[in-house]
């Protein structure tokens, strides 16, 4: 097939459609069904009360189940943060970066399918699949994002990027509802084992990811026209670029202080988003209510309210300024963490979910746009600046997840981990207050 020209509508739509393909991982595996499945597998309850939440793993006895999954998640993000500069360097130079994108896509998708065999007897295999699925998802995004300037003109990029996010949201929700229907009405679908539909959800996620990505791969160009051999210099190019950006940030007081603040509060935000479902499983008294339905409703509520949150935050930042709005949002996060420590019922959890959605959508979108506005006006290597931003965010997740896991293991309760995360928001507010005043 003849390559489509840059800016072609068909090419842009094909690129954006990868969000439809891969976003099912974020919702089904990272946020919804897998955390519920993991909790059901590793927690023993009597009359709705947790009596044992410890497991043995690779010689470690009585390991808190939340600690284990947080350590595995943190290790995976650490691997991603190390790999990202390598992958960024490769993406800029290789002649066929589509093959690299496919590799990570298939690694992630096949690992999702491998979760079908997740059980306590072979816990190491299930956690390995979970680990590789996360790496596959984030690894493929490095190459996916690097295609944007290749296939779209600057004036097209915002619109097509937003379209990708929209497709990802609708696609992932569609599959989640299908999986939820199978799980709740398993007999209607002809299943005798009520646990089988949950495991099949992991298979459907992997198959969905592989099948729908083919449309993207069919139209995407191979990469740069001139194929170059991957050498040591190319592999280290990403790290050299990050080092240069770090030096420039140190010389820019406004950007430096903002990035320190972002690193701290983002650490807490991302950790809360990753552990929210585990908190709902372990700390709430669901009574006769189906916890699976309740938790998935909460996740959908967060996503829907996040859209409103992003809109309201945009209006607030236009009126009061970015930094001032971020300070208020961080204070709201502190209030939410304090509230979460005391919640015990599903109704209270729904309220917390709505509040989290309201501030989550706002803080993520505003943080990135604020960083973009603070970049030097004459900066031409904006991709390198954002690579530094992404790596900082992932390292923050690593620290946040390990801190959360350590506190959970030490105290035996996630609630104390939530309280500990308040510290990151407080430090974030202090640093935001010290960012030199700006006009925007």
Using CA atoms, how far apart are residues 319 and 220, in angstroms rounded to an integer?
Answer: 41
The confidence score (pLDDT) of residue 51 equals 58
Query: Which of 146-155, 183-192, 201-210, 406-415 tops mean pLDDT?
Result: 201-210
The confidence score (pLDDT) of residue 328 equals 93
Q: Say if residues 298 and 280 touch (Cβ distance below 8 Å).
A: yes
Comparing CA positions, the residue from 307, 418, 415 lying closest to residue 357 is 307
- Residue scoring higher pLDDT (366 or 199): 199
The confidence score (pLDDT) of residue 25 equals 93
Using CA atoms, how far apart are residues 176 and 296, in angstroms rounded to an integer?
Answer: 9
For the chain, the farthest-separated pair of C-alpha atoms sits apart, in whole angstroms, at 65
Q: 437 pLDDT exceeds 60?
A: yes
The three-point CA angle 389-220-214 to 5° equals: 100
Using CA atoms, how far apart are residues 116 and 29, in angstroms rounded to an integer?
Answer: 12
Q: Say if residues 269 and 337 touch (Cβ distance below 8 Å).
A: no
What is the phi-psi region of residue 89: left when phi exceeds 0, alpha when psi lies from -120 to 50, beta otherwise?
A: alpha
Torsion of the alpha carbons at 86, 91, 93 and 98, rounded to the nearest 10: 130
Using CA atoms, how far apart are residues 384 and 381, in angstroms rounded to an integer?
Answer: 6
Per residue in 223-249, pLDDT tens? 655 555 656 666 677 677 778 878 888
So what's the architecture of 253-267+276-440 in CATH? Up-down Bundle (1.20)
Using CA atoms, how far apart are residues 163 and 156, in angstroms rounded to an integer?
Answer: 11
**Residue 89, both tokens:** 């360097």
Q: How far apart are the first and last CA of the chain?
A: 47
**Residue 415, both tokens:** 């609630």
Per residue in 2-47, pLDDT tens? 678 787 889 888 988 998 999 899 888 888 888 888 888 887 666 5
Using CA atoms, how far apart are residues 85 and 111, in angstroms rounded to an integer?
Answer: 23
- Split at pLDDT 50, 70, 90, the class of 161 is confident
Using CA atoms, how far apart are residues 68 and 62, in angstroms rounded to an integer?
Answer: 10
Q: 327 pLDDT exceeds 70?
A: yes
What is the average pLDDT across 346-368?
Answer: 81
271 Cβ neighbours under 8 A, 6+ residues apart: 397, 400, 401, 403, 404, 421
In the numeric block, the tokens 């999702």 are attached to 112
What is the average pLDDT across 129-134?
Answer: 95
- The rounded percent of the chain whose pLDDT value lies above 70 is 85
Ranges in the chain annotated CATH 1.20.1250.20: 7-220, 253-267+276-440
- The rounded percent of the chain whose pLDDT value lies above 90 is 18
**Residue 241, both tokens:** 């670029």
What is the average pLDDT across 165-186?
Answer: 83
The confidence score (pLDDT) of residue 133 equals 95
The confidence score (pLDDT) of residue 378 equals 66
**Residue 153, both tokens:** 């003109």
Query: pTM of the prediction?
Result: 0.78
What is the average pLDDT across 90-115?
Answer: 85
- 7-220 fold: Growth Hormone; Chain: A; (1.20.1250)
**Residue 343, both tokens:** 């919640």
Q: 159 pLDDT exceeds 80?
A: no
Q: 440 pLDDT exceeds 60?
A: no
- Split at pLDDT 50, 70, 90, the class of 439 is low
- Residue scoring higher pLDDT (310 or 129): 129
């Amino acid at each position: 097939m003849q390559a489509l020209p840059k800016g072609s509508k068909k090419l842009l739509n094909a690129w954006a459609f990868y969000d439809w393909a891969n976003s099912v991982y974020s919702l089904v595996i990272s946020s919804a069904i897998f955390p519920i499945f993991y909790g059901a597998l590793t927690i023993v309850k009597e009359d709705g009360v947790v009596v044992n939440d410890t497991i043995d793993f690779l010689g470690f006895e009585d390991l808190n189940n939340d600690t284990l999954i947080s350590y595995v998640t943190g290790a995976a993000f650490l691997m991603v943060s190390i790999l990202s500069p390598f992958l960024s360097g490769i993406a800029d130079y290789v002649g066929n970066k589509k093959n690299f994108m496919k590799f990570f896509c298939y690694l992630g998708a096949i690992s999702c399918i491998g979760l079908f065999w997740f059980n306590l007897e072979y816990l190491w295999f299930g956690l390995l699949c979970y680990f590789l699925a996360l790496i596959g998802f984030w690894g493929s995004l490095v190459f996916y994002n690097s295609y944007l300037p290749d296939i779209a003109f600057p004036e097209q990029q915002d619109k097509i990027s937003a379209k990708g996010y929209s497709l990802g949201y609708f696609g992932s929700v569609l599959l989640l509802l299908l999986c939820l229907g199978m799980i709740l009405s398993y007999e209607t679908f002809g299943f005798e084992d009520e646990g089988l539909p949950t495991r099949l959800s992991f298979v459907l996620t992997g198959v969905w990811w592989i099948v729908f990505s083919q449309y993207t791969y069919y139209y995407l160009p191979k990469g740069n026209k001139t194929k170059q051999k991957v050498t040591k210099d190319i592999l280290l190019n990403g790290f050299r670029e990050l080092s240069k950006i770090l030096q420039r940030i140190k010389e820019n007081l406004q950007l430096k202080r903002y990035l320190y603040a972002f690193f701290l509060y983002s650490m807490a935000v991302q950790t809360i988003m990753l552990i929210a479902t585990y908190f709902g499983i372990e700390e709430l008294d669901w009574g006769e209510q189906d916890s699976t339905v309740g938790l998935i409703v909460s996740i959908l509520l967060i996503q829907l309210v996040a859209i409103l949150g992003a809109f309201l935050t945009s209006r607030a930042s236009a009126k009061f300024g970015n930094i001032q709005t971020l300070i208020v949002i961080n204070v709201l996060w502190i209030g939410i963490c304090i509230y979460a420590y005391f919640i015990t019922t599903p109704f209270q959890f729904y309220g917390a979910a709505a509040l989290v959605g309201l501030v989550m959508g706002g803080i993520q979108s505003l943080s990135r746009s604020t960083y973009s506005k603070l970049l030097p006006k004459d900066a031409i290597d904006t991709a390198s600046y954002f690579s530094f931003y992404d790596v900082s965010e992932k390292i923050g997740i690593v620290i946040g997840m390990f801190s959360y896991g350590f506190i959970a293991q030490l105290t035996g309760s996630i609630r104390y981990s939530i309280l500990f995360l308040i510290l990151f928001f407080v430090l974030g507010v202090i640093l935001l207050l010290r960012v030199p005043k700006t006009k925007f």
